A = this chain, B = another copy of it.
Amino acid sequence: MITKEDFKEVCETSIKMIEDAGLLLTEVDKSKMTAADFGLNHIKKEGVQILTMFQTERIAGKILVLLPNQTEPEHWHPTVGDDAGKEEVIRAISGNLRFYIPGKDTFKEGFIVDGKEECYTMRNEIVMKPGDQLVLPAGTKHWFQAGEEGAVMYSFSTTVTDLNDQFTDPDIVRETIIEGITTNAY
C-alpha cells in the first residue's frame, strides 16, 4: 500500500524530472502519471512511475521514471497462447540508468535491494547513457535501477495485458493500492 501523500509526491517529482529532461508534457499527459509499488510497500526503494503517452490494441508508448536509487523489480513478459508476449524497446532520456538482462555476470555499478538476492537473478549489467537504446524481446527477464540522479526513459512496446507479467519476487502483487483505491498501473 502507498499513502495518498507518497503517491502524490512521487508523481509530482517524476513530472518535474521529465520536464527537466526537456520533454514537453501536456496537461492530459500529466493527469496520466501514476506509480506502482508492486505491493511491496516501499515505493521509493522498489517501484516505478509511469506516464502512458498512448496505448492502442497493438502498440504502446510510455515514459518511465525511476527516483534516485529506485529499483524496478525483476520481471518478464511471457508468450501466452496466441499472444507472442510484449516486446519492449527502452530509450534512455536522462539521468543514470542500469538494466540487468540475461548473460554473463558483469554486475558492478548497481546494488541488490537489501536481503533480496533471490529476487534479482539477472546480473548482466547494461549501463545506459541518455540516447542509448535496448531491445527486450518477449520473455526476456529484466530489472532496472537508477543511480543517484534518478532516470527518465521511454518504453515503446507491443501491447499486451500486463496482467500476464511474471515476477521473480513471490511477494509481489500486481495491483498498487493507494489507501483503499486499487489501480493496475503498469
Q: Interface size class for chain A?
A: 20 to 34
User: Quick check: is A135 within 8 A (CB to CB) of the other chain?
Assistant: yes
**Copies of this chain present:** 2
B131 & A59 in contact (Cβ 8 Å cutoff) = no
A26 & B132 in contact (Cβ 8 Å cutoff) = yes
User: Quick check: is A139 within 8 A (CB to CB) of the other chain?
Assistant: no
Please, which residues of chain B bring their CB within 8 A of the CB of A133?
53-54
B87 & A131 in contact (Cβ 8 Å cutoff) = no
User: Quick check: is A167 within 8 A (CB to CB) of the other chain?
Assistant: no
A interface residue numbers (CB < 8 A to B): 22-26, 28-29, 53-54, 56, 58-59, 61, 84, 87, 89, 91, 93, 130-133, 135, 154, 156-158
Q: What are the nearest 8 A-B pairs in CB distance?
A: A22-B22, A26-B131, A54-B89, A58-B87, A24-B131, A61-B156, A24-B130, A58-B158
